[in-house]
Chains A and B, each alone.
Chain A
């Protein structure tokens, strides 16, 4: 395929495991294919570098911790035409989000979207590499990238898994946004909601369903593993 001209893409990391974008980098063929469309600056290890350079697209992984994290996020935003937040850390606060056992209204939700405008989101912990690549290719061609609105249950049934909830086992599939191909359930584990809630998810009803399965205090710990599943 002839590519007209490359766009510029930078990857920045806030407080994170440093790994979301590795799902793409770890697949060298895909990563090099992406470089046909973009000049890529992976600036994750070099925190202080080139934050003032302008980019067509900036990917941010991680959670904006403290004042310095928030400032950094704002500078990155100013220099980007399009910001793509990737992973549960940027989306929901992620595994580093503290205070998640506090009552909901008291939780310090320092999520990226409350600090800067985010144009696109690719959720998950880690992100699904196919979805991230699809997002970047769509953006290159000026198309709007959309996430699926369905729940994980939809993909899970297509994959013919035995339903965990029906066996009285924990699963957040009914309220979680599809797009990972129900990878955890395919591997015998429950969906723990790393992609955040699907539109119109009924979290109260999910909590009711889980009450006979999981002890009461545990439900909140499950809903907050990746930050807060209720963040829209």
Chain B
């Protein structure tokens, strides 16, 4: 039985508020993505609409997880192979500049996670209906001071990835990812595939139940379906480095990951700057108004995650389903 099946079963008979805590523990790599998918599914079942500030803080948490996962993927999995090295400690000895890039990006991600969620793994403050505690404006200011170098680091990472001699093994199948009208979608949206199918919130279950064996998720799918929604800086970067607009091979995923790393570093800086100017306002947690059925999807580093919950009249979970690519 997979971890997600075990958690789905464990949730039956438990109160709704335990779903984000327990589902976060399906997989440490995507702990924020799972907890947010659960929070959004429960909020949809409880008729809760959270504030724009809550969404921004959650997006920042999710971005921090993307930055950490993308950095680990590129620096701990991909680059050692290309440098013909076995371990991260060998990289530290032989290529200290590369090693420090990874450290700086992971450290930045950890600082965001600790500031907003209370710790680096398994966020505490982020719950159904809002946040249990808030960082101060001055804490955001302290974080903002460190962000200048990170743009350079993310850019160096992309340059390094573009310079690698990548094999091009073609991918066969549809690409699927969240899609939104005006933004590069990762927190909200509808599911699009390049075969033209579109699934709204209500159809998520239908999508999860369709034949997805050959569907490709993750950075490459998001890039192919949504790159026209990148911000100007990321678009300029793509043009400058003459990166193609449609990816088709497995190795393109490396470039897509590095591009997203740049996009997410830039996006995090914008949100951090916003909070260091105005500071977050303390808001009350919004309580459930009623209990019914809810579904929500979110992007994780590896692709789209869907959570579906059914609650009885007392807010007790009667059914829980999790889709992981």
Chain A residues at the B interface, C-beta cutoff of 8 Å: 15, 17-19, 22-23, 26-28, 32, 35, 94-98, 100-101, 125-126, 183-184, 186-189, 192, 215, 217-218, 221, 225
Q: For the complex, is B96 an interface residue (Cβ under 8 Å from A)?
A: no
Q: Give min CB distance, B130 to chain A, whole Å.
A: 10
Please tell me which one of the listed residues B10, B15, B106 contacts residue A96 in the complex, with CB atoms under 8 A apart.
Answer: B10
Minimum distance in angstroms from A93 CB to a CB of chain B = 11
Is the C-beta of B208 less than 8 angstroms from some C-beta in chain A?
Answer: no
Chain B nearest Cβ from A200, distance in angstroms: 27
Known: A17-B25, A225-B21. A125 touches B118 (CB 8 A): no
CA distance A22 to B113 in the complex (A): 14
Give every chain A residue within 8 A of B122 (Cβ-Cβ): 125-126
Q: Across the two chains, which residue of chain B brings its CB closest to A100?
A: B10
Q: Give how many B residues have a beta carbon under 8 Å from the other chain's beta carbons.
A: 37
* One of B26-34, B148-156, B159-167, B255-263 at the interface: B26-34
Assembled-state Cα–Cα distance A217/B124 (Å):
24
Q: Which of the candidate stretches B1-9, B198-206, B228-236, B289-297 sits at the interface with the other chain? A: B1-9
Other-chain contact of A18, B9, B28, B132 (Cβ < 8 Å): B28
Interface contact A17-B26, CB-CB below 8 Å: yes
CB within 8 Å of A: which residues of B? 3, 6-7, 9-10, 13-15, 18, 21-22, 25-29, 31, 68, 89, 92, 103, 106, 110, 117-122, 124-125, 127, 131-133, 314, 316
| A66: nearest chain-B partner, CB-CB | B1
Separation of A221 and B3 alpha carbons in the complex (Å)? 19
Bound together, the chains give a CA A95 to CA B22 distance in angstroms of 6
Chain B residues in 8 Å Cβ range of A19: 27-29, 31, 121
- Name the distance in Å between A29's Cβ and chain B's nearest Cβ: 8
Contact (Cβ within 8 A) B10 A188: no
On chain A, the residues within 8 Å of B27 by CB distance are 17-19
A18 cross-chain contacts in B, Cβ below 8 A = 27-29
Determine the residue in chain A with the shortest Cβ distance to B34. Answer: A17
CA distance A125 to B31 in the complex (A): 12
Q: Which residues of B contact A100 (CB under 8 A)?
A: 10
Q: Known contacts A188-B132, A225-B22; decide if A98 and B10 are in contact (CB<8 Å).
A: yes
Q: A17-B25, A96-B6 are in contact. List 9 more A-B contacts (CB 8 A).
A: A19-B27, A19-B31, A22-B28, A95-B10, A97-B10, A187-B125, A189-B118, A189-B132, A221-B14
Q: Which residues of B contact A126 (CB under 8 A)?
A: 28, 121-122
Contact of A183 among B31, B92, B110, B119 (CB under 8 A): B119
> Can you list the 6 inter-chain pairs with the closest CB atoms, starting with the nearest?
A19-B28, A188-B132, A187-B118, A188-B133, A187-B124, A17-B28
Q: Considering the chains assembled together, what is the distance between the CA atoms of A135 and B89 in angstroms?
A: 23
How far, in angstroms, from A18 to B121 measured CA to CA in the complex?
Answer: 12
B10, B13, B103, B120 interface centre (most CB from chain A within 10 Å): B10
Nearest residue in A to B314 (C-beta to C-beta)? Answer: A215
> Which residue of A94, A97, A98, A221 is within 8 Å of B18 (Cβ)?
A221
Q: What's the Cα separation between A108 and B156 when bound, in Å?
A: 52
A223 to B13, CA, bound (A): 14
Q: Find chain B residues with CB under 8 A from A17 CB.
A: 3, 25-28, 31
Q: Say whether B15 contacts A218, CB under 8 Å.
A: yes
Distance in Å from the Cβ of A105 to the closest Cβ of chain B? 18
Give A101 to B26 CA distance when docked, in angstroms.
Answer: 20
A218: B residues at CB distance < 8 A: 15
- Per the bound structure, the CA–CA distance linking A21 and B222 in Å amounts to 31
Q: How far is the CA of A67 from the CA of B3 in the complex (A)?
A: 17
Do A23 and B124 touch across chains, with their CB atoms under 8 A apart? Answer: no
A22 partner residues in chain B, CB cutoff 8 A? 28, 121
Measured in the bound complex, the distance between the Cα atoms of B10 and A97 in whole Å is 8
CA distance A189 to B153 in the complex (A): 35
Task: Flag if B120 contacts A26 (CB, 8 Å).
Answer: yes
